[in-house]
Structure 1
Amino acid sequence: MSENTSNTTSKFRWRLWENRAEADEVTPKHPHKPFPGWLYGVLFLVFDIIAVAALEVGVSSSSTRVQLSSPTVGFGFVSKMWTDGNFVFLLNVILVGLLYLALLMLFNRFWTASIVILAAGIFVAAIEHFKVEIRYEAILPADLGFLGTNTGNMLTFIPAGAHVTILVALGAFIALVALILVLRHFDGRQGRMIRTRNMGLNFASRLILLLLPLLAFSLYCMQVSTTDSWANKLSLGMGDKPSMWDSVYDAQRNGPLVAFTRQVNPKIMDKPDDYSEQTMKEVAARYEQEAKQINASRANNLNDSTVVYVLSESFSDPSRVPGLKVNKDSMPNIRKIKENTTSGLMLSSGYGGGTANLEYMGLTGLSMANFDSSLTSPYQQLVPGAHWAPTINQMWGAPANSLGYHPYESSMYSRATNYKKFGFSHFYTLTGPDVIKYQDKIDDSPYVSDKSSYDSALEGIKDGTANKFIQIITMQNHMPYHEWYKDNDFTVESTTGTPLEKDEQESIETYQKGASITDQATKEFLDELDKLDKPVTVVFYGDHLPGIYSSAGQDDGNSLALHLTDYFIWSNKASGTQGVKADDAAYSSPNFFVAQAAEHMDAKVSPYLAFLTEMHAKIAAMEPPVVNQIQGWERIPEGQSIYLDQDGEPMSTEDFDEETEQLLADYKLIQYDITAGKNYLKNTNFMTLP
C-alpha cells in the first residue's frame, strides 16, 4: 500500500470516527434502533387524527338538545370524504397538524410534542362538552377573555355529573401517554427531530420550522372570514359549510377548530350598498319627522323619571316548558304584576347563556340579528375598540346619573371596561373598584341573592334628587343548581312518559325555588319603589332560560318555547303611568325595550327611539337564527334571522311589505354607521331627546 493511500485511508477512518463521535454526542447510545422517518410520519398522522377526533367528540357527545338539523358527526365526519366528496375533516387535520408541527420544533422531541397536542385536544374537548351541555354553545374566541382573572371562576360553570366526563377524559389521556412512553422506550432516537452539533444551524432550522406553520395558521385565521380570500376559498373548497347561526351545529358540521378559527377575526357587518353621509342624513331626517308626529301626542319627558333595567339572570316560567308538570307556581307575584302593566314574552337569542348579548341589545337598541354571524360577543369583540358607543343611559346626561349593579366579577365579559365607555360613573360589583354594598347569599347558594342586588340599587335610586338610569344584572339564579336551598318543596315530573334523569330533576327543582325567591324579592323591590315620591319605571326581563331542560330539548318542536322568557314594564304611583298597558307588547326583544318604555311612560322620543317604535310595530321581536324548529320550516330559509309578528308567529322576509323592508334596511344602515361605519349620525340630532 502506498504512503498516499495509507494517508487517505487514515483520514477516512479519522473522519468516520469523528462523525460517529458526533452522533454519539448528539444521540447517546441506546439498546434499541432508532425509529425510521416514515414511522414518525405515520405516528404524527395518527396522533393528529386522534386530537381532531377528540375535539369532534367534545361537541358531539352532549345530549342537551337537538341541533338545527341532523349534522354529520362521529364516523360520518370522516366518511363524508368519500360519500359526499367533503374534505372538511382533512382541513381540521391540516390545521391541528400545523400546531403539532410547531410544537415539534419548539420541543425538538417528537414524544413530548405528541403528549402536549393530545393533552390539549382532550382538555379542550372536555371543556367543549361542558359548555355545550350547559349553554348549548361551542367554545368561541370571545371565551378567551375568561382566561387570567376569571380562570378560577370558570370552575363554577361545570355541570352536575361532570366527574364522569373528567374521568373518561383522564383515562383516555393516561392510556395514550402510556402508549407513547412504551414507543419512546423502543425508539433509539428518543424522538429527537433535529440532530446536529452546530448549535447555530440547530436553532435556525428549528426557528424556521416553528415560524412557518405558525405563520400559515395565523394567516388562515386572519383571512378565512373574508369572502374570496385564499383561506376562505381553501376552506369552502374542502367542504366547510359555515353555519354560524348555531355555534354547536357549526362545530359539529365543520369541526371545532375550523368553526373556531372562522370567528377569530370577525366581520362586524356588511356595508350597505347605499351607505354614505348623504344617505344617513336622509335617514336622520326621516325619523326626525316620525319623532315629531309621535311627540305631538305625548306629555312627558323620558329623563324626567328614573328608569331601572333589571336583567334577571335565567328568569323564566318553569310551568311553560313543554313536557313538564310542576307542583306549584314559581312566580305568582310577577304573574300578577304582568297582568296589570305592559308585559309579555321576550324572544331570547340565548339558552343557558348569552347574557351579555341580551344586555348589549337592551342598552343600545341594536340587534344581534343585524351583525355578521362571525360577531358573536359585542362586549368582547366590538365595544372595547369602538369609537362611538351610544347607549340609552346617556339620555340621562352626566355619567353621575348612570349607575350599574352586578354582584359578581367586574371583568366578566369585559363589563368594567365597557360600562365606563357606556358612560356609567359607577359599576358596583364584588371585585370593584366600586364594591356592591349588600352581598348576602341564600342557604348554600354560591351567588348573591336578588334581594341584596335590589337593596344595593335602592340606595342609588334614593340618593340625591336627580333622575337616573339604573342597570341591575342579577346572579342569584345562575347555573349550576345543586340543591342550594333548604326546605325546598318544589317538585317537577315529566309528562312525556319518560322519567327525568336525577341530575335534570334536581336542577329544575332547585331552579324553581330560586325563581320563587326572585319572584318575592321583585315584588318587595317594587313595593319599595312605590313608596317613593319620585317617578320610577322598571323594565324587568329574564335574559334566557337556564340550560337544564335536557328532556324538552330533545324535541326540536320545543325550540321556540325554550327561547321565550318573561318581561314587564312597570311604573310606580308617583310616575302617573302606573297600570298602563302599551300596545303590541305580547312579544318583544331587548332592542325594543327603550322604545316600549317611552310609550308606556307617555314620553317623547328622539328620532332613534321613533325608529325603534316604528320597527317594533312591524316586527314584534327579532333575534339571530338560533331557534331550531323555525329553521326547519320550508318557508323560512336556513340561517335567516328570527322575526316574530305580534302574535308570536314566525315571519319570512319574503312576506314583508314595502314599509317593513324599508325599516329593516334603515336599521342596518343605522347599526352599520354606529358600529362599523364613519359615525355620520353622531353629528346629527338622531340620538337627542326633545
Structure 2
Amino acid sequence: MHGPVLTFLDYIDQVHVMNEPKGYTKDRIDRINSRYRKVAKEINRQRKNKLNKQTIVFNLSESFVDPYTFPEMKFKPGFVNPIKYIQSLKYTSTYGTMLSDGYGGGTGDMEWASLTGLSMGIFKTPVIPFVQIVPKHQFYPTIGMDFNYSSAIHPFNGTYYSRIEDYQRFKFNKFIYNGSKYPVIDQHKIDKSPYNSDFTAYSNGLKQIKDYPQGQFMNIITIQNHMPYNNWYSKNNYANLFSSKLLDEADKQQMATYIKGLNYTDKAVKRFINQIDKINKPITFVFYGDHYPKIIAQNYVAKYPIKMHSTRYFIYANKYAREHGVKSKLTDRTSFVSASNFIAMTLAQTNSKVTPYQALLTRIWQELPTITVNYKGKKNPELINQSGRKVSSNKLNKKQRLLLRDYKLIQYDMTDGSAYSLRAEGFYK
C-alpha cells in the first residue's frame, strides 16, 4: 500500500549509491579485465561445456522459506511436512541457505542480484537497482547475454520494478506477463487466492522450454505466495498445528495460509522437475526464495538477524544434463550463499566456461565469505561464513581484500561510474 511513498523517500538526497573507490579509472577497469582474463583461462582448462548450449532456468519463488527454519516455531502432532519434496532435493542437488537482503520485501533487488552477480550489500544507501540504476544504461549485462535467446515469465502485473523496460535493457527476447502480447497460458488460481498459482508459472516455463529447442535462459518470477496471507485456502490442514510466541492470533491465521501455499509450491516444483526430467536436452533449474514473508513482526529481526534473512535455494540438473557432463550437485561453499553467487554456481555445476567477469564472480563465491547487506543498517557489507556466522572484514587476508576491491570497482563502474567495463573487450561476453 505504501510502496509509492517509500520509493519516493528513497530518492530524496540520493545522488550517489556508492562512494567512488580509490583508484577508479578506465585503466584500472582494463587491468581488472586483463587479470581475470587469465583467471578465466585457468578455470576454462578444467571445463568443457558452453553455457549457451544449456537451458538455464532461474526461478525466484515469492517469499519461499523453509517453515522449519522459522524462529521459535513449534509443530504439533499431525503437522505434515509441507515441503517434503523440496527438502528431499538436498540429496540430489546443490542445496542450502540463501541470505536475503530484505525482510518482507525487496523482490526486485534479489532478482537484480541473481541476474547480474552484483551485491546489494556493497551499496552505501538503500537503493532499488531496477528503478534507479539499470535505466542509466541502454544495455545492462546479465547472465542472459550469454545466450542466443532469453526470456522472463511473471504471471502477474509486468510493470513492477520497471521490469518491462529493464528486460529490454537486458536484451531479453520475450517477457510473458498478464496483459503482454504473449498470453499467460493455463491461468489457475487456488481456491480464493487472487494470484496465479505456481502451477501457472511452471506451465508457461515448460511451454517456453519446448518452444525453443536450443539453449536458452529463462527467468521465472512466481506470485502465488505474495502477501497478504488472508484465509485463501479451504480445508487448510495446517491451521492450529503450530505455535510460536512471536505470533498473535491474526498472525497464526496468516501463517497457516502461508504454509499451505508452500505446500502448493512443493507440489508444483515436483511436477515441474518430473516434466523437465523427461526432456532430452540439458536443463538446470535454479530455485530460490527471495525473502521472508512479512508475518512475524519486523522488530524481531534484530534478535534473529541471520535466521530471518535465510531462505531456501537449490540448483537441480535434469536427467539429460546429468548424463551429459553436468554435475548433479556442488558440495563446497553451498551452505550459505547470496543471490549474487548463483551465476558462478550455475557455471560450476554445468561445467561451463567463463568470461573474465564470471571468473571474478567465481573467485568471489569460492574465496570470500558470503556478502550480504549489513542487517544493522550500517554502510559496510555483512560477511557470513559457511557456518552462518559473521566474519569481520579485518579478518580478510591480502588476496581476499584485493578480490573484494576488484568487485567493488566493477560494481561502482556499473552503478555510479562510467560503465568502462561495458567497453572492455570480452569482459562480460
TM-score (norm 2): 0.93
Distance in 1 between the 2:200 and 2:10 partners? 41
* Residues 210-246 of structure 1, C-alpha deviations (whole Å, 9 max, x = no match): xxxxxxxxxxxxxxxxxxxxxxxxxxxxxxxxxxxxx
**5 Å matches for 1:194-233?**
none
**Equivalent residue, structure 1, for 2:50:** 301
SS at match of 2:58: strand
The correspondence for 1:643, drawn from 369, 377, 383, is 383
Residue 382, structure 1, aligned to residue 133, structure 2 = yes
Distance 1:331-1:655 versus aligned 2 partners, 3 A rule: same
Residue 667, structure 1, aligned to residue 411, structure 2 = no
Residue 289, structure 1, aligned to residue 38, structure 2 = yes
**Equivalent residue, structure 2, for 1:368:** 120
- Conserved 8 A contact 1:356-1:379: yes
**Equivalent residue, structure 1, for 2:174:** 426
The correspondence for 2:368, drawn from 612, 619, 624, is 619
The correspondence for 1:580, drawn from 320, 329, 337, is 329
SS at match of 2:167: helix
- Conserved 8 A contact 2:124-2:380: no
* Residues 157-187 of structure 1, C-alpha deviations (whole Å, 9 max, x = no match): xxxxxxxxxxxxxxxxxxxxxxxxxxxxxxx
**Equivalent residue, structure 2, for 1:280:** 29
Q: Which has the higher contact order (CA 8 A, sep 6+)?
A: 2
**Equivalent residue, structure 2, for 1:464:** 212
The correspondence for 1:514, drawn from 261, 266, 272, is 261
The gaps in structure 1 that reach 5 residues or longer are 1-126, 132-137, 145-259, 632-637
Distance 1:530-1:441 versus aligned 2 partners, 3 A rule: same
**5 Å matches for 1:397-408?**
397=148, 401-408=149-156
Distance 1:671-1:387 versus aligned 2 partners, 3 A rule: farther
Shift of 1:578: 5.3
Distance in 2 between the 1:524 and 1:647 partners? 32
Residue 417, structure 1, aligned to residue 417, structure 2 = no
- Conserved 8 A contact 1:306-1:468: yes
SS at match of 1:579: coil
Residue 332, structure 1, aligned to residue 84, structure 2 = yes
**Percent identity over the alignment?**
35
Residue 393, structure 1, aligned to residue 393, structure 2 = no
Shift of 1:446: 0.5
Distance 1:338-1:284 versus aligned 2 partners, 3 A rule: same
**Equivalent residue, structure 2, for 1:549:** 296
Distance in 2 between the 1:380 and 1:264 partners? 16
Shift of 1:261: 7.2
Distance 1:261-1:485 versus aligned 2 partners, 3 A rule: closer
The correspondence for 1:489, drawn from 226, 232, 237, is 237
The gaps in structure 2 that reach 5 residues or longer are none
Shift of 1:271: 1.7
- Conserved 8 A contact 2:83-2:266: yes
Task: Specify the code of the residue in structure 2 equivalent to 1:686.
Answer: F
Shift of 1:386: 2.1
* Residues 81-105 of structure 1, C-alpha deviations (whole Å, 9 max, x = no match): xxxxxxxxxxxxxxxxxxxxxxxxx
Shift of 1:262: 6.7
SS at match of 1:434: coil
- The structure with the largest strand share of the pair is 2
Shift of 1:266: 3.5
- The structure with the largest helix share of the pair is 1
- Conserved 8 A contact 2:59-2:286: yes
- Conserved 8 A contact 2:251-2:296: yes
SS at match of 1:307: strand
Residue 685, structure 1, aligned to residue 416, structure 2 = no
TM-score (norm 1): 0.59
The correspondence for 1:503, drawn from 250, 262, 271, is 250
Residue 560, structure 1, aligned to residue 312, structure 2 = no
Shift of 1:435: 2.9
Shift of 1:622: 1.5
Shift of 1:620: 4.0
Distance in 1 between the 2:141 and 2:86 partners? 31
- Conserved 8 A contact 1:388-1:674: no
